[in-house]
Amino acid sequence: MAERNGMVEKRGAGLWLTHLGLIIGVLFIFFPIWLAFVASTVTQADIVRPPMPLLPGDQFFENYGRALTSGVNAPVATMLLNSMVMALGIAVGKIAISLLSAFAIVYFRFPLRKLFFWLIFLTLMLPVEVRIVPTYEVIANFGMLNSYQGLILPLIASATATFLFRQFFMTVPDELAEAARVDGAKPMRFFFDILLPMSRTNIAALFVILFIYGWNQYLWPLLITTDPDMNTIVMGIKQMFPSGDDTADWPVIMATSILAMVPPVLVVVGMQRLFVRGLVESEK
Amino acid sequence: MEKRVTFKGIWLPILLVLPQIVITAVFFFYPAGQAVWQSLFIPDPFGLSMQWVGLGNFEYLFSDPYYRASFVTTAVFSILVTVVSMGVALYLALLADRLIKGAGAYRTLLIWPYAVAPAVAGVLWLFMFNTRVGVVSWYLGLLGYDWNHVLNEGEAMGLVVVASAWGRISYNFLFFLAGLQAIPKSVIEAAAIDGAHFWTRFRTIVFPLLSPTTFFLLVVNIIYAFFETFGVIHTITSGGPQQATTILVYKVFSDGFVGQDLGSSAAQSVVLLFLVSILTVVQFKFIERRVHY
């Protein structure tokens, strides 16, 4: 009968239990990251004699300084730069080529239009993971191993982004294009002056998703960057573990893991509304 | 759906689609074609010539017990990752949906692990369960449980599943919460007035109304477990022990790049290609259904 009172939303003891359940969930999500953060602020000696402390130590500047300036194989500052170039290159490149091709497919009638559309659609079925060996050979033949072009270009074509923009362009009122045509505006003028400004929110939402996608790439940089100075940070962490029985430099490795998380997490938290929107739209 | 108003011109639109078509051709279709082509040959050990073997690579592949085992491993792994991450996410979303105030705050706290790369998640969980320095494995030792995922196959699988599911909870939570909030409160209140308790309401009203979201997440999560968990496996177990965590994508990598068995790796790529096609078609079917609801 008590149920009648609160009906669906919980009050009193039930409310506290609901909060408790959620807080346990949040702690479960946070715990691994908290532990990594603690490990990045203590000495190696604190870690190799388990159990390690559960509260941060005083080695924060020492460990992060060491990671950023020397790292293990390459300075982490270099790897951060590589990741930034790769993530921005993929996000900007994908958005640019997708905007152009969606514009062409929606606003023009030209021969082979249907064929091009289906060719783009089919790329949905070819994630990089299923074509790694031959794609690697293509990049090697172009001499693009250990280069930014090699990191970016194979990941840049995307059916998802093209479809998103196509869908959005379909909702743009026809009157706008008509008015532009009557005024004698060239198609590209219409694209830059009207369509592009109208797509701002969509572009921003997609940018958030694509930046994270690019930043978090692992397999592809692992294959094509054999030079430590071209490693991205996400794939570089694994390279910091010694082969064989040596003890890993845990404080530096954990500082690097934290540094690898900071940029994409800032993007998600800082642009939360755009992120949620981008996620929902790009899955449609 | 077609636009009524269009611009004139043939060369301009072709120029506009060209960047995407060129990149798609060079980095998607040509390599995929190569994979199909290479899967029909065996290169000699020096890579100087190729010998036509027809479907020989595939026959060899499917007679390889390790490859067949890899299918089972992939199925077990994908199902576990999907069930664990969706189960925890649904539980948290149900709780958050009951709050009048504060659901937004919990959403902020729960969504950002989406940004943590699978490979980084792998390193975090490896650190907790490391046999020498791991905190969790040390406390398990105190309780008398000797954790060793380097030797124990079941523990290795458990660890990669939890590490893969952990980062995925955010994504599923977001979609479940949106799905729950779209269910009209009046329907649930009407049931409550009729005396239906929480579990009955969930079983008879909430879960059926949530089914489009659930189907969608099911497919998306299986695709995630198939293709995007490479980083977790590579950082934590490298496919071991005794290939107990070698999922299909990992095997393409280890046979092609570590083992240099190009014919077999190409054949495996073709099998994967086939699987992705099926998953993509299924995904589209479900999404269409989602739109119709």
> B1-13 pLDDT, tens per residue?
677 778 888 899 9
Closest-CA distance, A1 to chain B, in angstroms, reads 9
| In the predicted structure, residue B100 carries a pLDDT above the cut 60 | yes
- B-chain CB neighbours of A54 within 8 Å are 135
B17-69 pLDDT tens trace: 999 999 999 988 898 888 888 888 887 766 677 778 878 888 888 888 889 99
How would you class B194 by CB atoms within 10 Å of its CB: exposed for 0-12, middle for 13-18, buried for 19 or more?
Answer: exposed
- Mean pLDDT along residues A8-25: 80
Cα(B44)–Cα(B1) distance, rounded to whole angstroms? 52
pLDDT at residue A284, as a whole number: 52
- B-chain CB neighbours of A131 within 8 Å are 28, 31-32, 34-35, 269, 273
- B-chain CB neighbours of A178 within 8 Å are 5
Q: What is the amino acid identity at position A249?
A: D
| In the predicted structure, residue B223 carries a pLDDT above the cut 90 | no
| In the predicted structure, residue B206 carries a pLDDT above the cut 80 | yes
Cβ contacts below 8 Å, chain A against chain B, sum to: 296
Beta strands at B41-43 and B50-52: parallel, antiparallel or unpaired: antiparallel
- B-chain CB neighbours of A119 within 8 Å are 21, 24-25, 29
The answer to whether the peptide bond before residue A228 is cis (omega within 30 degrees of 0) is no
| In the predicted structure, residue B217 carries a pLDDT above the cut 80 | yes
Higher-confidence position of A157 and A80? A80
Cα(B51)–Cα(B42) distance, rounded to whole angstroms? 5
Cβ atoms B206, B280 nearer than 8 A? no
| In the predicted structure, residue A57 carries a pLDDT above the cut 90 | no
Cβ atoms A26, B106 nearer than 8 A? yes
Cα(A83)–Cα(A260) distance, rounded to whole angstroms? 9
pLDDT at residue A10, as a whole number: 58
pLDDT at residue A2, as a whole number: 38
Cα(A228)–Cα(B196) distance, rounded to whole angstroms? 62
- A-chain CB neighbours of B143 within 8 Å are none
Q: Do A125 and B115 touch (CB under 8 A)?
A: no
Residues contacting residue B164 through CB under 8 Å, at least 6 positions apart:
B77, B81, B85, B118, B121, B225, B229, B232
Residues contacting residue A38 through CB under 8 Å, at least 6 positions apart:
A52, A53, A54, A55, A56, A57
Q: Does A215 touch chain B (CB under 8 A)?
A: yes
Share of chain A above pLDDT 90, in %: 43
Q: How confident is the model at residue B194 (pLDDT cuts 50, 70, 90)?
A: confident
pLDDT at residue B185, as a whole number: 83
| In the predicted structure, residue B293 carries a pLDDT above the cut 50 | no
3-state secondary structure chain B: CCCCCCECCCHHHHHHHHHHHHHHHHHHHHHHHHHHHHCCEEECCCCCCEEECCCHHHHHHHHCHHHHHHHHHHHHHHHHHHHHHHHHHHHHHHHHHHCCCCHHHHHHHHHHHHHCCHHHHHHHHHHHHCCCCCHHHHHHHHCCCCCCCCCCHHHHHHHHHHHHHHHHHHHHHHHHHHHHHCCCHHHHHHHHHCCCCHHHHHHHHHHHHHHHHHHHHHHHHHHHHHHCCHHHHHHHCCCCCCCCCCCHHHHHHHHHHHCCCHHHHHHHHHHHHHHHHHHHHHHHHHHHHHHHC
Where do the CATH 1.10.3720.10 domains begin and end in chain A? 75-282
Instruction: Provide the 10 A C-beta neighbour count for residue B138.
Output: 18
Q: Does A44 touch chain B (CB under 8 A)?
A: no
| In the predicted structure, residue B220 carries a pLDDT above the cut 90 | no
**How far from B213 is each of A119, B111, B149, B183, CA to CA, in Å?**
29, 17, 35, 12
Choose from A55-69, A92-106, B142-156, B189-203 the range with maximum mean pLDDT. Answer: A92-106
Q: How confident is the model at residue A1 (pLDDT cuts 50, 70, 90)?
A: very low
What's the complex ipTM? 0.88
| In the predicted structure, residue B113 carries a pLDDT above the cut 90 | no
Share of chain B above pLDDT 70, in %: 96
**How far from B116 is each of A9, A254, A277, B285, CA to CA, in Å?**
33, 14, 19, 30
Q: Do B115 and A267 touch (CB under 8 A)?
A: yes
Q: How confident is the model at residue A113 (pLDDT cuts 50, 70, 90)?
A: confident
- Mean pLDDT along residues B66-86: 94
Closest CA to A216 of A163, A262, A279, A278: A262
pLDDT at residue A3, as a whole number: 40
Q: Do A47 and B192 touch (CB under 8 A)?
A: no
- A-chain CB neighbours of B104 within 8 Å are none
Q: What is the mean pLDDT of chain A?
A: 87
Domain limits of chain B? 57-292
The answer to whether the peptide bond before residue B13 is cis (omega within 30 degrees of 0) is no
Q: Does B104 touch chain A (CB under 8 A)?
A: no
A23-51 pLDDT tens trace: 999 998 999 999 999 999 998 888 888 78
pLDDT at residue B45, as a whole number: 66
> Which of B13, B192, B266 has the CB atom closest to A133's CB atom?
B266
| In the predicted structure, residue B291 carries a pLDDT above the cut 70 | no
Closest-CA distance, B226 to chain A, in angstroms, reads 10
How would you class A55 by CB atoms within 10 Å of its CB: exposed for 0-12, middle for 13-18, buried for 19 or more?
Answer: exposed
- Mean pLDDT along residues A157-173: 86
- B-chain CB neighbours of A4 within 8 Å are 192-193
> Which of B111, B133, B257 has the CB atom closest to A52's CB atom?
B133
- A-chain CB neighbours of B265 within 8 Å are 133
Closest CA to A21 of B168, B63, B102: B102
> Which of B99, B116, B174 has the CB atom closest to A18's CB atom?
B99
Q: Does B112 touch chain A (CB under 8 A)?
A: yes
Most B CBs within 10 A among A10, A17, A29, A237, hence the mutation to make, goes to A29
Q: What is the amino acid identity at position A162?
A: T
Residues contacting residue A160 through CB under 8 Å, at least 6 positions apart:
A124, A282
A116-159 pLDDT tens trace: 888 888 887 777 777 788 888 899 999 999 999 999 998 887 78
Closest-CA distance, A226 to chain B, in angstroms, reads 13
Q: Do B276 and A190 touch (CB under 8 A)?
A: no
Q: Do B20 and A126 touch (CB under 8 A)?
A: no
The whole-angstrom distance between residue B39's C-alpha and the CA centroid of its chain comes to 25
Interface of A with B in 165-204 (CB under 8 A): 169-170, 174, 177-178, 181, 187-188, 190
Q: What is the mean pLDDT of chain B?
A: 86
State whether CATH 3.20.20.140 applies to domain B57-292.
no
Higher-confidence position of A214 and B263? A214
Q: Do B34 and A137 touch (CB under 8 A)?
A: yes
| In the predicted structure, residue B287 carries a pLDDT above the cut 80 | no
> Which of B14, B92, B216 has the CB atom closest to A25's CB atom?
B92
> Which of B24, B220, B277 has the CB atom closest to A120's CB atom?
B24
The topology under which CATH files domain A75-282 is: MetI-like fold (1.10.3720)
| In the predicted structure, residue A86 carries a pLDDT above the cut 90 | yes
Q: What are phi and psi of A281, to 5 degrees?
A: -70, -40
Q: Is A51 left (phi over 0), alpha (psi -120 to 50) or beta?
A: beta
